[in-house]
């Protein structure tokens, strides 16, 4: 009998498969398709202190082996997430969930995290300092080690649950930023968020997306994500949730060998709502194929 369990800073997961923030709503939407309790956990839609309508449309552009999105953290605000969204989730998900938090100032990050930290359903906070689709915030915090460290410190001051900082790949040295977050008290790292990309409409000769650029995700970015997880694993002593281009069960094994303790699946959910369920079902067979008994034993195995 193979063991799929992994541990994220004290939060034990039945398996390492986690739908990524922004691709799984607040969970209950997918519960109409299958029993989402089969998941390790999931990261809910990026939540900010105030409600956000998001960016103007069009927000999505297709491209080979991926997609570009510029949704802009559309969400109802943290108060409604707690009073409405988490209540709708409770009847269909009996595990702790990951709360993904976005922000535009240090105060906003700390206030939103403090509110979500008090929720019994929340097992871990994922602080997004890497969103490429918003102005005056988001990725600007994630491209400077000092700012990344300051966000980490401020959030850790007001929370008791594990804090994972979600990093941007749109930087020269992601290792320096990961180390700065670790030094500031981060319990773990989530990486990578989307790359920055764009498409141009040949008929109008203008960018497809109203915001001009957006986050590029999908299977095409897996090699970049693997490389960055591998580099960060060699330089920090905290767990990594690896993500970026994961679409198959073999991608999961590869990402864990690079150094990820758990894995988030993003764009694949938008193509196939059963993507995570199917990966989980195939994991035991894939483990047997490579002689793996305990999945946690392979973390960082490529080093």
Which positions are catalytic? 131
CA dist., res. 39 & res. 31, Å (int): 11
CA dist., res. 265 & res. 20, Å (int): 5
Q: How many CA atoms within 13 Å lie on the side-chain side of 253? A: 17
CA dist., res. 241 & res. 16, Å (int): 9
Tokens at residue 140, please?
Answer: 């600007």
CB 75 within 8 A of CB 214: no
Residue length, the chain? 303
CA dist., res. 257 & res. 151, Å (int): 29
CA dist., res. 197 & res. 199, Å (int): 7
Nearest to 193 by CA among 139, 233, 141, 140: 139
Tokens at residue 99, please?
Answer: 């709360």
CA dist., res. 31 & res. 40, Å (int): 14
Map residue 145 onto helix, strand or coil.
helix
Give 29's DSSP letter.
Answer: T
CB 42 within 8 A of CB 18: yes
């Amino acid at each position: 009998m193979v063991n799929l369990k992994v541990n994220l800073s004290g939060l034990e997961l039945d398996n390492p498969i986690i739908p990524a923030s922004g691709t799984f709503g607040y969970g209950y939407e997918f519960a109409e398709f299958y029993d989402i309790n089969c998941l390790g956990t999931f990261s809910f839609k990026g939540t900010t202190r105030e409600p956000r309508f998001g960016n103007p449309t069009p927000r999505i552009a297709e491209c080979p082996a991926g997609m570009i999105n510029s949704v802009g953290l559309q969400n109802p605000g943290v108060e409604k997430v707690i009073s409405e969204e988490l209540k709708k989730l409770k009847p269909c998900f009996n595990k702790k969930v990951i709360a993904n938090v976005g922000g535009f100032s240090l105060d906003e990050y700390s206030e939103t995290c403090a509110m979500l930290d008090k929720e019994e359903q929340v097992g871990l906070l994922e602080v997004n300092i890497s969103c490429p689709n918003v102005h005056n915030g988001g990725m600007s915090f994630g491209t400077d080690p000092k700012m990344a460290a300051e966000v980490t410190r401020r959030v850790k001051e007001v929370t008791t649950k594990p804090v994972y900082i979600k990093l941007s790949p749109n930087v020269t040295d992601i290792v320096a930023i990961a180390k700065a977050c670790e030094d500031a008290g981060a319990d773990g790292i989530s990486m990578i968020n989307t790359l920055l990309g764009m498409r141009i409409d040949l008929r109008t000769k203008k960018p497809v997306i109203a915001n001009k650029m957006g986050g590029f995700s999908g299977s095409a970015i897996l090699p970049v994500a693997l490389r960055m997880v591998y580099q960060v694993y060699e330089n920090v002593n905290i767990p990594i949730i690896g993500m970026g281009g994961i679409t198959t069960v073999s991608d999961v094994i590869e990402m864990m060998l690079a150094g990820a303790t758990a894995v988030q699946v993003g764009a694949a959910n938008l193509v196939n709502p059963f993507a995570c369920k199917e990966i989980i079902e195939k994991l035991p067979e894939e483990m047997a194929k490579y002689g793996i008994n305990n999945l946690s034993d392979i973390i960082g195995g490529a080093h």
